[in-house]
Amino acid sequence: MNTAVSLQNVRKVYNNVSVVDDLSFEIDRGEMFGLLGPNGAGKSTTIRMLTTLTKPTEGHIQVAGYDVVRQARYAKQCIGVVLQQVSVDVDLTVWENLEYHGRLHHIPNPERQRRIDRWLEYVELVDRRDALVKTLSGGMKRRLQIARALLHEPQILFLDEPTVGLDPQTRRRLWEIILDLNKQGMTMLLTTHYMEEVEYLCDRIGVMDNGKLIELGTLHEFRAKHGEGIVVKQAGERLDYQFFATVEDANAYLDRQPDKTGMMVRSSNLEDIFVELTGRQLD
């Protein structure tokens, strides 16, 4: 079976409101999948259902071949999760956090110590193994969360805004780690508010709005559908965007304008297409 994650007609209802509505998509094994959407689109609820933290009201979800409701225990053994919130114990050391996590997953010694050493080296925290987590920088804490998520060697990694609040240099280092894991065959689902992160990392992209999946495909497919060229025009305090099939078409349109003041042509990007689809930028 080549499918790592499958959602079929999934709904989640809170207080008679569908926060996820008839959601269906699949993620192939080894794929890096980006899930985008404005705040309130249903992304976090989708992640919670995929990671067995909440049950779908309707529909079916399989992760690594296991039903997340009926076979939640087995599904959990196959997944790692990195959340945007700091979810490691700040009053323990780096090593103690990993030791505790390893014991929860019943990883026996000396295999547990071998894995701790391996992943600390991988995320470049060997020299901080005896440091209290409260003394680490934000980037170090996030790298520790990645090491912890990988300790039980999951098949699928869920990354929920893993680089939020980090400086650009630290973000780029995490990108390198994420890409390397993917090259090793790890299946990943990434949610983020950074469009360039999705453009750089993801094979395919799903866009959610109001609980529904409104677009699914690669960035190349998005640009081919919505337009590869764009004319930007200053209109008072706002910018108006007009899509064209190609940059050449956009340039030809600009050349025909008698007054080109405040107008420019450029290639479209994911943020342009996202705003076109949802009608607003990410909060």
Whether residue 213 is found in the same domain as residue 234: no
Residue 282 lies in a domain: no
Residue 115 lies in a domain: yes
Whether residue 183 is found in the same domain as residue 125: yes
Residue 279 lies in a domain: no
CA angle centred on 235, ends 233 and 236, rounded to 5°: 145
Whether residue 57 is found in the same domain as residue 13: yes
Whether residue 253 is found in the same domain as residue 183: no
pTM above 0.75, yes or no: yes
Q: Helix, strand, coil % (nearest 5) of the chain?
A: 35, 30, 35
Sites in the chain below the pLDDT cut of 50 = 282-283
DSSP state of 42: S
Q: Which of 185, 201, 221 is the last residue of a domain?
A: 221
| CA gap 203, 30 in Å, rounded | 10
What element of type H or E holds 22? strand 17-28
Cβ partners under 8 Å of residue 34, min gap 6: 189, 190, 191, 192, 198, 201, 202, 204, 205, 206
- Measured in degrees and rounded to the nearest 5, phi and psi for residue 266 equal -155, 170
Whether residue 144 is found in the same domain as residue 260: no
Whether residue 199 is found in the same domain as residue 232: no
Per DSSP, the chain holds a count of helices (H) and strands (E) of 10, 13
Instruction: Determine contact, residues 75/52, Cβ cutoff 8 Å.
Output: yes
Instruction: Determine contact, residues 77/152, Cβ cutoff 8 Å.
Output: yes
How many domains are there within the chain?
Answer: 2
Residue 276 lies in a domain: no
Whether residue 172 is found in the same domain as residue 243: no
Cα-Cα-Cα-Cα dihedral sign, residues 83, 154, 27, 167: positive
Residue 104 lies in a domain: yes
| CA gap 17, 244 in Å, rounded | 38
User: What CATH number is attached to the domain comprising 191?
Assistant: 3.40.50.300
DSSP 147-216: HHHHTT--SEEEEESTTTT--HHHHHHHHHHHHHHHHTT-EEEEE-S-HHHHHHH-SEEEEEETTEEEEE
Whether residue 41 is found in the same domain as residue 105: yes
Q: Which of 161, 157, 271 is nearest to 207 (CA)?
A: 271
pLDDT of residue 96: 98
Whether residue 65 is found in the same domain as residue 168: yes
| CA gap 228, 238 in Å, rounded | 22
Residue 272 lies in a domain: no
Residue 278 lies in a domain: no
Whether residue 55 is found in the same domain as residue 127: yes
- 3-state DSSP call for residue 119? helix
Residue 208 lies in a domain: yes
Domain ranges, residue 234: 228-267
pLDDT of residue 164: 85
pLDDT of residue 193: 86
Q: What is the pLDDT of residues 205-234, one digit of tens each?
A: 999 999 999 999 999 999 999 999 999 998
Whether residue 215 is found in the same domain as residue 258: no
Whether residue 74 is found in the same domain as residue 172: yes
- 3-state DSSP call for residue 41? coil
| CA gap 132, 265 in Å, rounded | 52
